[in-house]
Structure 1
């Protein structure tokens, strides 16, 4: 065990208090989420309204061919920039935004907006070029080429704008699933940092004289406010706060332990860790100041519940960076960003809890189990842990889970066996008419009263998709199934 567990008795009063707190938190999440989405929609409507009321409606409907093309380019440019700033705000890791959406929902929103933003930028550029080419009577296939050359040599702000477009296209290409699978996390992260550079490069063009961004006092106020808000959020939450917290808490590696073949735990100590606002199940971006690790930070979940004295992560060898953690020396300084994520028991509203993990996804599940046991937020028998692995050797932290389950009076189910196509469970021995029972039926047989549980799921993405399907089929509503996906 990483720490000595001194559990509180899971009395009905303790459990009720935990569930009431979860219900209050969910109500806050719903209200805040609705407010954020309303503000995002309102910002888009405000941008479109400003354009239309400023003469854009006439250009779109009653203008000449060139005027209409340019108007389309102007409008798509305004909407694209508004969406891009919303994406950067999601990426700024503002704590109350992170608590509402968590990493998974924020990434989904970021990707969806990205799939809309980059095409809008390309339409913006293409419509402007074609419109100016028509206006200047540059006909034929080379007309747009000539107009592009004129624009590029017509001023530095347009040259910067073309550079911003190129960077956004690179980010979009590297976000395609195939590209993401082939790229390392370090490379992907570096490429996506260029989205900040793209916004900076675009600002001179957007705020130039005669631009729709500066067409009126209202427009100037709106865009300057939005630029400052996003820039301040990024600088404050992604730079200043992480640096201040790292300096304040002074984290250092205390020891590194091999838990199983290819799996290591890194334990860290520091100052005033009881004041770090972190919960079991959350993750932080860790940067170890050793010669081969300091260049990049990686997101890893806590594998033990925070106790105010130590923090611990457990990492499987999935690449060069993770394997190098085995060579960390005690005393190595650690910088960190976070904590991040909404994969915590804070949003629990049901007495019974089902924790499902596969592979190294056991780390946040193990920390949540420890928190429930340590603070008495679950009565004996209220928690069932399902741990899936292909072989016994892959059951990292097994003995810790067994100890926690025994101390809290909970159930631990170890499901070991090779993967089965289309199933998240190992092959079962129970058959009916020669057919394997569905995963939902098998899970219901393993977990009595399945539909009355609050479920937490962590593991490989495809595995979690199958688990979600089984849980829904087994009667657990979507609102009571929680996960955090660490894909990029």
Structure 2
């Protein structure tokens, strides 16, 4: 156990160092392109030019920054292992979404400023001047037409990323729409690398942008296509068994070759495709629900739509394709002896695999692990028997908290105990503040749990969670 804690401390130090380096490189890339623009005449155009020149200069610099941010977004979505291990894939994708909210407005400012600036230069006035200038630009070269299509695709991606739109779209359609962002980047490249653009101003600027384009394209191709295909072929996963755990919840057990060489840890997830009608087209992220043993992998899925419900009808022998593993929700970063595992809903799956790993490998002394499993009804306690067995074998504690949800609380309602959740949790978990906490469940529930843990004295750095919202 001490060795595991030392490894956790070393891993934390590596995360901090590597995170600092990655963030410094990202900021430096933005500073470099802005500095190059200003030093090559952009500062003069922004301050000493006429209205048309100033507008064009604004369009030029926003275009440079927007493309740099878009390339950073693609890197964050490329599932690069170093980024995954430093931030966890959910945080990397959250940063990806945040950058998207900045990138698309910058692209629109770029387009608008360029159109208005050229219209002013050409002496066009009146309400129809932007439309006339847009027509002139689009008919002046194929690269600008490609750039217009690229901008349109990015706007569509941005619109479908808004919360209200995501709720109306199925995961499959949302995923398909977002794949067009790759097409948008490809379509924009001819315009950016055309003669006379800021992307080709000097030899070193051309080298800089070409290097970025090649590195990003290589990362996406390698980690999103070649590695998943190679791993799927190498390990030859096939469905061996489908078991109904509780009404609407199924476990899919898979067997394959040399799974001991697959770098997957308890708590992680993979993107799964099954060679079955209507299940192959889209990959879905599901956590493994048992600790890897080198021979089998298992996922446990709740019926949340047409795609997940079809898993119940998978036949033994069905070929399985996968991407990953992904995620930082593992015990690798643990530095405290006591562990608190909190789960609700289908978030129980990664928690169950972490518990098994701690018990099987002796990474926790008897009594050092406390499991809190929350459900609205006892019929929803999927994998309950397994939790009871693992905690009994390891000498740990299991609390099954069953009851309808209460406003502002993540615990079951108790008419005899009106104390804050943090105080009630402290009664369940002695020495709460000395625990390393792992939380997985619905987003709103996790937010309430997180607040209780902080109020209970657990530092933010010792609270681990991973959210799988899209």
Please say whether Structure 1 and Structure 2 have the same fold, judged by a TM-score greater than 0.5. Answer: yes
Indicate the residue corresponding to 2:430 in structure 1.
448
What CA distance in whole angstroms lies between the structure 1 residues aligned with 2:97 and 2:408?
27
What CA distance in whole angstroms lies between the structure 2 residues aligned with 1:407 and 1:416?
23
What CA distance in whole angstroms lies between the structure 2 residues aligned with 1:307 and 1:207?
50
Indicate the residue corresponding to 1:264 in structure 2.
250
- 2:182 aligned with 1:200, yes or no? no
What CA distance in whole angstroms lies between the structure 2 residues aligned with 1:365 and 1:58?
58
What CA distance in whole angstroms lies between the structure 2 residues aligned with 1:374 and 1:406?
12
Q: Deviations over 1:250-271 (max 9, x none)?
A: 0000000000100000000000
Indicate the residue corresponding to 1:152 in structure 2.
138
Give the aligned length.
470
Indicate the residue corresponding to 2:113 in structure 1.
127
Q: Deviations over 1:291-327 (max 9, x none)?
A: 1211111000000000000000000000000000000
Indicate the residue corresponding to 1:314 in structure 2.
300
Indicate the residue corresponding to 2:77 in structure 1.
91
- 2:420 aligned with 1:438, yes or no? yes
Q: Deviations over 1:60-118 (max 9, x none)?
A: 01111100000000000000000000000000001111111112211221111011100
1:285 touches 1:298 (CA, 8 Å); kept in 2?
yes
- 2:7 aligned with 1:17, yes or no? no
1:167 touches 1:195 (CA, 8 Å); kept in 2?
yes
Indicate the residue corresponding to 2:459 in structure 1.
477
Report the alpha carbon displacement of residue 430 of structure 1 after superposing the two structures with TM. Answer: 3.1
Which of 304, 326, 336 is residue 322 of structure 2 equivalent to? 336
What CA distance in whole angstroms lies between the structure 2 residues aligned with 1:429 and 1:402?
27
State TM-score, norm by structure 2.
Answer: 0.99
What CA distance in whole angstroms lies between the structure 1 residues aligned with 2:331 and 2:194?
50
1:430 touches 1:437 (CA, 8 Å); kept in 2?
no
- SS of the aligned residue for 2:125 comes to coil
What CA distance in whole angstroms lies between the structure 1 residues aligned with 2:90 and 2:408?
23
Q: Deviations over 1:418-437 (max 9, x none)?
A: 00011111102433xxxx21
What CA distance in whole angstroms lies between the structure 1 residues aligned with 2:116 and 2:82?
44
- 2:228 aligned with 1:228, yes or no? no
Which of 184, 189, 201 is residue 170 of structure 2 equivalent to? 184
Indicate the residue corresponding to 2:283 in structure 1.
297
Indicate the residue corresponding to 2:440 in structure 1.
458
What CA distance in whole angstroms lies between the structure 2 residues aligned with 1:200 and 1:464?
39
Larger CA deviation: 97-106 vs 414-423: 97-106
What CA distance in whole angstroms lies between the structure 1 residues aligned with 2:281 and 2:71?
27
What CA distance in whole angstroms lies between the structure 1 residues aligned with 2:73 and 2:353?
31
Gaps (5+ residues) in structure 2? none
What CA distance in whole angstroms lies between the structure 2 residues aligned with 1:128 and 1:119?
14
- 2:468 aligned with 1:486, yes or no? yes
Which of 11, 19, 23 is residue 33 of structure 1 equivalent to? 19
Indicate the residue corresponding to 2:196 in structure 1.
210
What CA distance in whole angstroms lies between the structure 1 residues aligned with 2:278 and 2:55?
52
2:341 touches 2:439 (CA, 8 Å); kept in 1?
yes
Indicate the residue corresponding to 1:8 in structure 2.
none
Which of 9, 34, 54 is residue 48 of structure 1 equivalent to? 34
What CA distance in whole angstroms lies between the structure 2 residues aligned with 1:387 and 1:316?
16
- SS of the aligned residue for 1:378 comes to coil
2:79 touches 2:89 (CA, 8 Å); kept in 1?
no
Q: 1:402-421, aligned counterparts within 5 Å? A: 402-421=388-407
What CA distance in whole angstroms lies between the structure 1 residues aligned with 2:92 and 2:264?
19
What CA distance in whole angstroms lies between the structure 2 residues aligned with 1:213 and 1:259?
57
- SS of the aligned residue for 1:329 comes to coil
What CA distance in whole angstroms lies between the structure 1 residues aligned with 2:382 and 2:6?
33
Indicate the residue corresponding to 2:238 in structure 1.
252
What CA distance in whole angstroms lies between the structure 2 residues aligned with 1:430 and 1:51?
67
Q: Larger RCO: Structure 1 or Structure 2 (Cα < 8 Å, ≥ 6 residues apart)? A: 1
- SS of the aligned residue for 1:93 comes to coil
Report the alpha carbon displacement of residue 36 of structure 1 after superposing the two structures with TM. Answer: 0.3
1:103 touches 1:485 (CA, 8 Å); kept in 2?
no
State TM-score, norm by structure 1.
Answer: 0.96
What CA distance in whole angstroms lies between the structure 2 residues aligned with 1:139 and 1:370?
71
